[in-house]
Amino acid sequence: MPNDHVFNPLNRPVYTSITNTFTSPGIVAPPENNAGSTGNLYNAGSTNSTTLGLLGGSVIATVQLTNPVGSGKNVYISRLSGGITVALNLLSSFSGTMTLSANGTLTSPTTLTPVNNNLSSSNTSIATVRFSTAAPTGTTTLLAMPLQVGPFLTNELGRYVVPPGQSINLSVSGSLSVGGLMASTSYFSWWEA
């Protein structure tokens, strides 16, 4: 007569109690850790640095990450980062925003090459990354906020998933009402699986 399954009936799980202590903790890590060590974690973005004329204007950095139809993988957003730099004496005439959005179209885009975060990996990203110095059009907004001058960095841990045929945009915009040198920066970090 065969034995029953002693372990693991779905409705009768094995109750466990972890005995690790602070002197020998079990080590766990987020998906980025394993995606990085296996060469599936990527990074791309750029800066738009512009000298504005007497009447000021906007300096925009938009990076668009597109997962092509038929790629066979999903893109999981790991991190958004970037920021705005401007001379301190111009702060009173400054305003800034950050917008994360889905799909839509870029104006006059250039192509960025994703960098593999595992510096020895020869894996290449399935994603198409484009950069524009204008805001994207026809998007669905996921997140919007005013920014002050300085850096921002938000860890997303796969909170946004981009399946094949979808795009995600990170757009950072700084504006001055007087002339000055201003730079806006947008970066995505993501893993593919």
Contacting residues toward other proteins, per CB under 8 A: 1, 3-4, 6-7, 9, 12-20, 24-31, 33-34, 74, 76, 95, 97-98, 102-103, 140-148, 150, 152, 154, 157-163, 165-168
Nearest approach in angstroms of CB 131 to other proteins is 20
Is residue 186 within a helix (H) or strand (E), and if so which, with residue range?
strand 180-192
Burial environment of residue 39 by CB neighbours within 10 A (0 to 12, 13 to 18, 19 or more)? middle
Nearer to other proteins among residue 17 and residue 113 (C-beta): 17
Nearest approach in angstroms of CB 117 to other proteins is 16
Q: 93 φ, ψ to 5°?
A: -105, 15
Nearest approach in angstroms of CB 68 to other proteins is 13
Q: Are residues 143 and 100 in contact, defined by beta-carbon separation less than 8 angstroms? A: yes
Nearer to other proteins among residue 37 and residue 53 (C-beta): 37
Nearer to other proteins among residue 25 and residue 70 (C-beta): 25
Q: How far is CA 158 from the centre of its chain?
A: 10
Nearer to other proteins among residue 6 and residue 54 (C-beta): 6
Distance in angstroms (rounded) separating the CA atoms of residues 123 and 71: 14
Nearest approach in angstroms of CB 28 to other proteins is 4
Distance in angstroms (rounded) separating the CA atoms of residues 109 and 6: 60
